Every structure is written in structure tokens, then in C-alpha cells.
Amino acid sequence: MSKPLQFSIEWPALADEGVRLFNSGEYHACHDAFEDIWLDSAGDQKTFYQGLIQTAVAYYKIVGRGFPGAKALFERGMEKLRKTRHLETPLKVEEFLAAAEQHYGRLVELGEDRMHEITEATFPKMIYVDGYTPQPPPDPSWKRKHHDKHHA
């Protein structure tokens, strides 16, 4: 029998929801899910979740053609993911980081006038490590609670 997977960070069901939202192109909603975890985190775990948040929002900014924001958020988010790459998480962080670095390089190469050439079809997916099974979705009321907490 195989040993259950163990991780060095807390990974609640809301984190799996963040992954699902990112992979379905709902980058801002992904940000909201990870933000709720980030707010209750500390240390490297907090840095890791902030890196996911900032990278997700960088992709959101690409879709909305916000060059300065996308560039800055990629830089900050990737730096945080690099700093926390030692953490054991359910995500294949190195693969996601490599894809983000490629998109960042392409963004800088194209500049604001041609950033539209980066299409959503080329965006990465957040991939789980082998053997990890995502948790069932959290209670949908998290969205309302998030909105009430952050947008009141």
C-alpha cells in the first residue's frame, strides 16, 4: 500500500477550487480563492500563496491588455514562487513557474503594442503532483463571504 501524500503547507479545499478556477480561465476568481487562504497564512506559506495570486492576476491582466500590471505582477509573483520552491505542495510548481517565465519573456519581448499576440490558449494549467486527488469543492458561500469581507 502506498503512503499518503504529505505536504509542507496547508492545502484546504479552497486551494483546489483556486486551481479549478485558474484552469477554467477564471483568473480573478482564482485570485479570490487563494486570497482567502493567504490572509490566514504566515511565513513561507503566505509567500507561496501570494506568488500564486500575483501570477494568476498577471494572466488576468494579459487578457485585459494591462501591460504594466501584467509585467509587474509576473515579476513579483514569480519571485515569490522561486523563493518558496522548496515547499512540498500538491502542485507541480516548477512546471507552472517555467510556463509563467516563458509568458513573461514573451510579454516583455512583444511589449504593450503587441501583447495581444499572447493568447489564452497558450496559458498554462496548474497541474497536480502524481497521486494527489483534489478535494471536493468548498461550500459555494465562500464567494459571498469573500465579497462581503473585501468589497464592503
Taken in order of first residue, the domains within the chain and their CATH numbers are 13-129 (1.10.3450.10)
CA distance 137 to 139: 7
The pLDDT value given to residue 138: 82
The pLDDT value given to residue 148: 59
The pLDDT value given to residue 1: 44
If DSSP codes are grouped into helix, strand and coil, which group holds residue 128?
strand
Q: Which of 56, 35, 48, 49 is nearest to 145 (CA)?
A: 35
pLDDT in tens, 40-78: 999 999 999 999 999 999 999 999 999 999 999 999 999
State the cell numbers at 136.
471536493
Q: Please give the average per-residue pLDDT across 86-108, as a whole number.
A: 96
Let me know: does 41 contact 10? Beta carbons within 8 Å: yes
**What angle in degrees, to the nearest 10, is found between the helix axes of 43-63 and 93-114?**
40
- pTM over 0.75? The answer is yes
State the cell numbers at 152.
464592503
Q: Which letter does DSSP use for residue 91 in this model?
A: B
Side-chain-facing half-sphere of 54: CA atoms under 13 Å:
21
Mean pLDDT of the chain: 91
Let me know: does 74 contact 55? Beta carbons within 8 Å: yes
Q: Which of 125, 135, 136 is nearest to 22 (CA)?
A: 125
Residue type, 91: L
State the cell numbers at 32.
479570490
pLDDT in tens, 98-128: 999 999 999 999 999 999 999 999 999 999 9
Strand positions, DSSP E, the chain: none
The pLDDT value given to residue 137: 84
